[in-house]
Amino acid sequence: MHGVLIDLDGVIWEGSRLVTGAPAAIDWLTRKGIPYLFVTNTTSRPRRLIVDKLRSLGVHADAKQILTPPVAADKWLADNSRDPAVLIVPDATKEDFTIRTAEPDDASTVGDIGAIVIGDIGDAWTYPLMNQVFRLLMRDPAPALIALGMTRYWRAEDGLRLDVAPFIKAFEHAAGCEALVLGKPSPDFFAVALDEIGCGAADTLMIGDDLYGDVLGAQDAGLRGMLVKTGKFRRQDLEADVKPDAILDSIAALPDWWSREHVNQRVNSAADC
């Protein structure tokens, strides 16, 4: 194993509270020179504010060590020369895009549109905006449709609210296209993350508190999936049909686990010889 991907919410922090021992585990990875990247599905705040939150909790990270769906989308768009892109994303994350952009109603003046990126914009959805997106998707050549995650709904203070997925499904259905999903558990998101740390899937460990979004998503993308018993972990997760490659009480136990694992690997490879 060479690289590590680490979920944030439920692994490093729980709400505003630090998971005990998390900063020491991250310091250990840094001292060992093990490449790691924080991977989160957050689209409500820019990377800059995630760095601030990590620092306030005693975890030193810079923006390049954090991958969010908007950052992954920006990288994918640049790597695939899909500009200009129309951004239908929360205002808070627009600063994470470096690609050339266009407004939805510029389409007749800017020529081809490379992609439409869609996140959860909540109350900002209107029928005219949805129809503008639909018309852009029906153009020839058609722009790529990029979804910042595929969360179906979330719980707000006033009750459940639609997230991004129902809108993406509507556009896919109407335009007969398929969105590229950049957010866990999509393999495309894990592919961007692996590219960032320069490690192969088989050599990389994903650490998360979500049995499906983190552990199964990683395993489906060819990585090893480690479950931590913090955050959203529930005892029932241990009886589920998804079997994590490792289970730790919390990320604080990572250095000991890693050292044991590497001793075992050395013993096994010596036995193979």
Show the site string, 155-194: x = touches Mg ion by CB under 5 A, - = not: ----------------------------------------
The answer to whether 209 contacts Mg ion (rule: CB under 5 A) is yes
The answer to whether 14 contacts Mg ion (rule: CB under 5 A) is no
CA distances from 254 to 118, 177, 226, 260 (A): 36, 42, 10, 10
Q: Which is nearer to Mg ion, 14 or 172 (CB)?
A: 14
The answer to whether 74 contacts Mg ion (rule: CB under 5 A) is no
CB 191 within 8 A of CB 199: no
> Which residue in this structure is represented by tokens 């490792």?
246
In the complex, what is the shortest distance from the CB of residue 7 to Mg ion, in angstroms, rounded to a whole number?
A: 4
- Residue nearest Mg ion, Cβ-based: 10
Q: Is 172 helix (H, G, I), strand (E, B) or coil?
A: helix
Q: Which is nearer to Mg ion, 37 or 113 (CB)?
A: 37
Q: Which is nearer to Mg ion, 74 or 209 (CB)?
A: 209
Q: Is 18 helix (H, G, I), strand (E, B) or coil?
A: strand
Q: Which is nearer to Mg ion, 10 or 69 (CB)?
A: 10
> Site for Mg ion (CB under 5 A): which residue of 4, 6, 7, 66?
7
CA torsion, ordered 221, 66, 208, 89, to nearest 10 deg: -80
The answer to whether 237 contacts Mg ion (rule: CB under 5 A) is no
The residues, ordered by sequence, that sit 6+ positions from 119 with a Cβ below 8 Å of its Cβ are 43, 69, 70, 88, 89, 90, 93, 148, 149, 164
In the complex, what is the shortest distance from the CB of residue 40 to Mg ion, in angstroms, rounded to a whole number?
A: 8
CB 10 within 8 A of CB 41: no
Q: Is the dihedral of CA 164, 165, 170, 175 positive or negative?
A: positive
Per rule CB under 5 A, count of chain residues that contact Mg ion? 4
The answer to whether 196 contacts Mg ion (rule: CB under 5 A) is no
The footprint of Mg ion (CB under 5 A) covers 7, 9-10, 209
